[in-house]
Amino acid sequence: MVPILTLTFVARGYSPDHVIHMALATSMATIIPGAFASARTHHKLGAVNWRVVRQMTPGILLGTLSGTVFAFYSTTTFLKSFFVAFICFLAFQMVLGVRLAEFFASQRGEERGLPGWAGLTLFGFGMGFVSALAGIGGAVLSILFLTWAKVRMHEAIGTAAAIGLPLALVGTIGFVVTGYADHGLPPWSVGYVYLPAFFGIALTSFIVAPYGARLAHRLPVETLKKVFMIFLVGLAIKMAVSV
């Protein structure tokens, strides 16, 4: 969503100083309804580790708010560079998954498990900070971390969904508040959140997501990973060139 929104805002002639901030904020806002529905479903299925959610949440809230403030003071060039670097990391981990972490841990002979309250809070802070700068709900980072900590995959996915809700909520609030201090935003903006894009994405994703889900179950996992990786990197490069 971030590169597509950025390119859309550029095409509409919005200020280059605002387009990435608006894309990050709007992307974060669109996560809220999906995260709520997903967390509720996973909770009903008993796939949410609420102890992890509770212990991560303070760090997530502080880290995400810090990330939105940092983004406010960051230049478009820095945000663009950070996002492209993050996309490259995302593509890399999509190919290797947790296998690289498994390899290094096996070399050290470590017995892994979930860390204590301090470790989960610290990870939540870092994840929230990075997620605010990338406009994401943190699922890719939290699932990678939880599976590395030997949490079974279904529980890792359900817990990541529950974590995504407070992250998206506080991230959206942070971008709204900081956006009010920035002048020259286009009409129909609430802070950095651009309402037409928010409602358009929320509505259409609700309609078409079931079709995408059914298609995903018919395609080989490795094929999906490669196609999505190429799609993400291509979008990131296009965004870097256009802004």
Q: What does the pLDDT look like over 132-186, one tens digit per residue?
A: 998 888 887 888 888 878 888 788 888 888 898 899 999 999 999 999 988 889 9
Q: Which residue ranges make up each domain of the chain?
A: 17-242
**pLDDT score of 66:** 96
- pLDDT of residue 111 exceeding 60, the answer is no
Ranges 94-98, 126-130, 145-149, 153-157, most confident: 126-130
- 210 or 175: which carries more pLDDT confidence? 175
Nearest CA-CA partner of 17 in 75, 84, 81:
75
**pLDDT score of 28:** 93
**pLDDT band, residue 112 (cuts 50/70/90):** low
**pLDDT band, residue 88 (cuts 50/70/90):** confident
Model pTM score: 0.83
The torsion region of residue 141 among left (phi > 0), alpha (psi -120 to 50) and beta comes to alpha
**pLDDT band, residue 19 (cuts 50/70/90):** very high
**pLDDT score of 166:** 93
Ranges 96-100, 116-120, 125-129, 202-206, most confident: 125-129
| pLDDT, tens only, 154-167 | 888 888 888 988 99
Nearest 5°: the CA angle 158, 96, 34 is: 30
Which residue(s) pair with 194 in the sheet?
189
Tokens matching residue 159: 């817990």
CB-CB contact of 124 with 58 (8 Å): yes
E strand segments, the chain: 189-190, 193-194
CA–CA distance, 149 with 143 (Å, rounded to integer): 10
Flag the least confident range among 16-20, 127-131, 184-188, 213-217: 213-217
Flag the least confident range among 13-17, 175-179, 192-196, 216-220: 216-220
Q: How long is the chain?
A: 243
CB-CB contact of 60 with 167 (8 Å): yes
Average pLDDT taken over every residue of the chain: 84
- 91 or 65: which carries more pLDDT confidence? 65
